[in-house]
């Protein structure tokens, strides 16, 4: 004991000595004076006192006030200074990977250390930490997985849960767990951090836990609604128009093009008819608008206006996703109205951007240049860019919603909430008074909901249900009823039913051994099952690659002007397989080959592939392999050939896809010259236009298996693969004797298979053996 004590004392002293030494460096000193100006600094003593006296504390404050970078650091400094450094282990969760990294890096540099020393991070597939690490940033998902191994979070002294106001599904889930854990871990301190939204809700949930508000320090931000923006841009164009003297041909031409531009602007917006519809009812008009995407022409005109007529300062544009960002990037690149191209620095900011150095986004641009950041709602609260003076807000964000009745996930840009609009506007007032250009009418703003619906109420729940079982949190229904806002009963039932269908839960809703395996794989349970089947049936490499693409993102990029060429490239990868999944696989293999021979760049360019996504897929593939080895489905010492006997057999690969993705099946039915597609739940669906199967009139095989069904303008199945009835018969669906007693029926009568009862018995036996392999 004495020995341990003295080792601890030594470590405590070392940590303190290092911290003190760094304080003398010029860089840390400069950072320190920046830190002292942040609003969080003023509440430091109050904050430390509050966590000393309370087990749970809710902290709220305007975005940028220093919650994320300062509060965990205050705890760290305090623990080290009072010689408790050896025993302290602070964890802070972030909803997004990108913020976990950027914050850990920022704090390390504020402390004058390298990343991974006292401060580190851990996200899926990536970690930078060491034995020395005392403050660890991680994604909420990483913490949840740790809870599965260690339900009491042994050794963690402080847990900070960040961005709880966003009401992500993982965060809401974590809060239920923490509320139960707190009485069993009296020494654990829990700090919940939120933007200035609804802090009371969280305090109440934790038995009226104390709250600490950090008063903001922001400048006023003027707000312009669509009507004002149009008038302003119109006014300027018009007044210039009037000012143009003389009537040389060139001038007149210029005038005409301006006029055209103006009419186009109004044509696109069709403001008149919108206003007319507002007259009816705001709800209806919101719905009328909800189908339309955002108007990039209007965004562009607004940028032109700011660049030409407003003072210096960075512009932050809120868009809905990568699609708009890349389209606008292309437009802006050729737009001379923004000024000489050397005068603007246009940067994208998106949650799934590669985890590269993001310095440019935070840094001041070089003198004479204007920084324009094109961002998704990630810039709304988790990332703060200080020098923003102008915000351009399209008013929408991509939001998932879940239609429990039709078992359908929808991903559509939809109007944000008033709370989000307020957040976005606030981003313009960090260093000086700013302006927020809202590209929607005031009346739309008035009709926006106060808050966004929490994610737990608008996503499929199967992964969450699996987590609940693996963490041994009791019956799914009663556990979820303890949530801040419990999800709909039907949504919970759907998730349980799906998990039973794929064999992850038994009839009593208990986890089967297969279910337990699926919990260890950080992917959707269907994709997890595909991985297991790939290892059992010796198709491992294709399963790993396709799973990586489905779990991460499609490596095919969508160029705006070259859509047809891109579709063609994808089709040529698919060959005659009638499969988007095979196209993915072949593209990946081609990339590997090209990389080996040094023409990665041209290969990706010619085939419309994202090298960054492919690289990420490659990394994920290795991670999945390690996980499969951990649970005993792969013995790495046997080498890859032991698991890839059938990897080049595309029929086998398609059968494995069927086994994994079941029950996502559509039946192809001939309707005259065309084929119609039916699913069990929603009836007729369409094939997504980006699929290699779009436009095929006759499929060789009677079914398609798909990875995702989405509702946008219609109900589409995204990536699909044509499969045979035999694959279904062996790997999916319920087998029941047909009414005549002779054949087999499956999928509620979709598949009729005429065979004797003995064949049915044989298939049952084969499936029984397969179940044993999956449940080993
Ligand atoms: P909050 O969590 O309250 O929104 P943060 O702690 O994230 O605030 O940020 C506090 C300040 O530190 C902000 O002014 C922000 O601009 C600055 N900051 C945070 N991260 C970085 C970074 N990686 N580089 C430069 N400045 C940063
Ligand atoms: Mg923050």
Residue from 36, 40, 62, 69 whose mutation best tests the ligand 1 pocket (most atoms within 8 A of CB): 69
Closest ligand 1 atom, residue 71 Cα: 6
Count of positions (residues) in the chain: 776
Ligand 1 centroid distance, CA of 107 (Å): 9
Distance between Cα 345 and ligand 2 center (Å): 25
Please answer whether residues 426 and 221 qualify as being in contact, where contact means their C-beta atoms are separated by less than 8 angstroms. Answer: yes
Instruction: Provide the pLDDT for residue 97.
Output: 86
Angle between helices 26-37 and 2-23 (to 10 degrees): 80
512 neighbors 503 (Cβ within 8 angstroms): yes
| Nearest ligand by distance to the CA of 73 | 1
Q: Residue 115: nearest ligand to its CA?
A: 1
Q: CA 374 from chain center: how many Å? A: 17
Residue where the block lists tokens 């990586």: 548
Quick one: which ligand is closest to 35's CA?
1
CA of 204 to the centre of ligand 1 (A): 28
pLDDT tens digits for range 246-277: 344 444 444 444 444 333 433 344 444 444 43
Expressed in angstroms and rounded, the spacing between residue 68 Cα and the centre of ligand 2 is: 4
Where does ligand 1 bind, in terms of residues with CB under 6 Å? Answer: 38, 61, 63-70, 102, 106, 362, 384, 386
For the chain, which ranges sit under pLDDT 50?
235-292, 354-357
State the distance between the two ends of the chain, measured CA to CA, in whole angstroms: 43
Q: Which long-range contacts (CB under 8 A, 24 or more apart) does 39-44 make?
A: 39/65, 39/66, 39/214, 39/215, 39/216, 39/217, 40/65, 40/66, 40/67, 40/70, 40/71, 40/74, 40/214, 41/66, 41/70, 42/214, 42/215, 43/212, 43/214, 44/70, 44/74
Atom of ligand 1 nearest to the CA of 70: 6
Q: Are 328 and 300 in contact (CB under 8 A)?
A: yes
Q: What's the gap in Å between 66 CA and the centre of ligand 1?
A: 6
pLDDT attached to residue 404: 77
What integer pLDDT is reported at residue 557 of this predicted model?
82
- The pLDDT value recorded for residue 227 is 79
Of 64, 110, 216, best ligand 1 pocket probe by most atoms within 8 Å of the beta carbon: 64
Q: How far apart are the CA of 625 and the centre of ligand 1, in A?
A: 37
User: Residue of the nearest CA to atom 13 in ligand 1?
Assistant: 64
DSSP 86: G
- Residue nearest ligand 1's atom 18 by CA: 384
How far away, in angstroms, is 335 Cα from ligand 1 center? 32
Ligand 1 atom with least separation from CA of 214:
3
Between the alpha carbon of residue 40 and those of residues 45, 74, 227, 499, 685, the distances in Å are 10, 10, 38, 45, 52
What SS3 class is residue 745? Answer: strand
Task: Supply the pLDDT for residue 267.
Answer: 39
Smallest CA separation from ligand 1 atom 10, residue: 66
- At residue 343, the pLDDT reads 83
User: Given the CA of residue 386, which atom of ligand 1 is nearest to it?
Assistant: 16
Look at residue 710 in the predicted model and tell me its pLDDT.
Answer: 83
Ligand 1 atom 22: residue of nearest CA: 106
Best CA proximity match to 515, nearest among 556, 443, 462, 439: 462
Half-sphere exposure of residue 205, counting CA atoms within 13 Å on the CB side? 23
Strand partners, 565: none
Q: How far is the CA of 654 from the centre of ligand 1 (A)?
A: 48
Ligand 2 centroid – CA 383 distance (Å): 7
Residue 66 CA: which ligand is closest? 1
| Distance of CA 47 from the midpoint of ligand 2 (Å) | 16
Ligand 1 pocket mutation, candidates 106, 361, 371, criterion most atoms within 8 A of CB = 106
Centre of ligand 1 from the C-alpha of residue 578, in Å: 49
Closest-CA residue, ligand 1 atom 7, reads: 68
Ramachandran region, residue 212 (left: φ > 0; alpha: ψ -120 to 50; beta: rest): beta
What's the pTM value of the predicted model, to 2 decimals?
0.81
From the alpha carbon of 162, which atom of ligand 1 is closest? 2
Q: By three-state DSSP, how is residue 416 classified?
A: coil
Nearest-ligand number for the alpha carbon of 98: 1
- Identify the residue whose C-alpha is closest to ligand 1 atom 24: 362
Q: What is the pLDDT of residue 145?
A: 87
Task: Choose one of 33, 44, 66, 115 to mutate for the ligand 1 pocket test, by most ligand atoms within 8 angstroms of C-beta.
Answer: 66
pLDDT of residue 338: 66
How many Å lie between the centroid of ligand 2 and the Cα of residue 88? 22
pLDDT of residue 321: 82
- Running DSSP on this structure, what letter comes out for residue 510? P
Tokens of 288: 């009328």
Q: What residues pack around ion ligand 2 (CB closer than 5 A)?
A: 67-68
């Amino acid at each position: 004991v004495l020995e341990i004590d003295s080792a601890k004392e030594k470590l405590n002293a070392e940590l303190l000595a290092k911290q003190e030494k760094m304080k003398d460096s010029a860089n840390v000193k400069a950072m320190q004076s920046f830190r002292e100006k942040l609003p969080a600094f003023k509440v430091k003593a109050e904050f430390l006192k509050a966590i000393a006296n309370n087990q749970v504390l809710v902290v709220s404050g305007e975005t940028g006030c220093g919650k994320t970078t300062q509060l965990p650091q205050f705890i760290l400094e305090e623990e080290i200074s009072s010689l408790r450094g050896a025993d302290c282990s602070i964890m802070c969760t972030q909803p997004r990977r990108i913020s976990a990294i950027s914050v850990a890096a920022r704090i390390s540099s504020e402390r004058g250390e390298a990343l991974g020393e006292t401060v580190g991070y851990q996200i899926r597939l990536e970690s930078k930490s060491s034995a020395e690490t005392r403050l660890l940033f991680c994604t909420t998902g990483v913490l949840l997985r740790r809870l599965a191994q260690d339900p009491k979070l042994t050794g963690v002294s402080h847990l900070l849960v960040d961005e709880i106001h966003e009401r992500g599904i993982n965060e809401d889930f974590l809060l239920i767990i923490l509320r139960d854990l707190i009485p069993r871990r009296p020494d654990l301190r829990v700090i919940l951090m939120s933007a200035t939204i609804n802090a009371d809700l969280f305090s109440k949930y934790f038995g009226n836990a104390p709250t600490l508000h950090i008063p903001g320090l922001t400048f006023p931000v003027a707000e312009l609604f669509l009507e004002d923006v149009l008038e302003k841009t119109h006014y300027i164009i018009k007044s210039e128009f009037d000012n143009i003297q003389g009537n040389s041909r060139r001038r007149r031409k210029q005038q005409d093009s301006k006029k055209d531009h103006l009419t186009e602007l109004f044509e696109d917006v069709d403001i008149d008819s919108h206003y007319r519809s507002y007259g009816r009812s705001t709800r209806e008009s919101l719905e009328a608008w909800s189908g339309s995407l955002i108007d990039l022409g209007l965004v562009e005109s607004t940028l032109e206006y700011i660049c030409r007529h407003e003072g210096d300062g960075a512009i932050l544009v809120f868009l809905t996703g990568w699609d708009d960002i890349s389209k606008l990037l292309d437009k802006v690149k050729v737009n001379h109205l923004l000024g000489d191209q050397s005068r603007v620095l246009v940067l994208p900011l998106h949650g799934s951007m590669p985890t590269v150095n993001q310095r440019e986004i935070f840094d001041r641009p070089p003198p004479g240049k204007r920084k324009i950041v094109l961002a998704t709602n990630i810039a709304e609260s988790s990332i703060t860019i200080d020098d923003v003076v102008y915000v351009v807000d399209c008013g929408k964000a991509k939001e998932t919603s879940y239609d429990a009745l039709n078992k359908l996930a929808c991903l559509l840009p939809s109007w944000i909430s008033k709370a989000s609009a307020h957040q976005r506007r606030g981003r313009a007032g960090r260093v000086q008074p700013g302006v927020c250009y809202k590209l929607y009418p005031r009346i739309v703003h008035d009709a926006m909901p106060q808050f966004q619906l929490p994610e737990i109420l608008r996503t499929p729940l199967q992964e969450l249900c699996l987590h609940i079982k693996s963490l041994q949190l009791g019956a799914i229904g009663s556990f979820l009823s303890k949530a801040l806002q419990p999800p709909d009963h039907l949504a919970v039932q759907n998730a349980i039913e799906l998990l039973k269908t794929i064999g992850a839960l038994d009839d009593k809703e208990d986890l089967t051994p297969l279910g337990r395996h699926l919990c260890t794989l950080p992917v959707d349970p269907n994709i997890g099952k595909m991985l297991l089947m790939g290892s059992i049936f010796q198709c491992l490499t294709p399963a790993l690659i396709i799973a990586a693409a489905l779990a991460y993102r499609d490596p095919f990029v969508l160029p705006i002007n070259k859509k047809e060429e891109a579709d063609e490239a994808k089709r040529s990868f698919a060959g005659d397989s009638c499969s988007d999944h095979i196209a993915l696989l072949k593209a990946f293999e081609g990339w590997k080959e090209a990389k080996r021979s040094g023409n990665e760049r041209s290969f990706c360019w010619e085939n419309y592939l994202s090298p960054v996504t492919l690289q990420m897929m490659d990394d994920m593939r290795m991670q999945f392999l390690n996980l499969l080895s951990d649970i005993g489905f792969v013995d790495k010492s046997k080498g890859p050939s032991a698991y890839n006997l059938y990897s080049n057999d595309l029929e086998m690969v398609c059968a494995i896809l069927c086994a994994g993705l079941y029950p996502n099946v559509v039946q192809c039915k001939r309707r005259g010259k065309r084929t119609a597609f039916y699913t069990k739940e929603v009836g007729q669906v369409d094939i997504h236009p980006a699929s290699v199967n779009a436009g095929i009139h006759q499929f060789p095989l009677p079914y398609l298996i798909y990875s995702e069904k989405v509702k946008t303008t219609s109900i589409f199945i995204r990536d699909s693969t044509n499969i045979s009835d035999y694959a279904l018969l062996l790997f999916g669906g319920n087998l029941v004797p047909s009414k005549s007693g002779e054949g087999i029926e499956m999928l509620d009568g979709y598949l009729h298979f005429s065979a004797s009862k003995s064949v049915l018995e044989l298939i049952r036996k084969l499936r029984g053996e397969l179940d044993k392999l999956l449940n080993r």
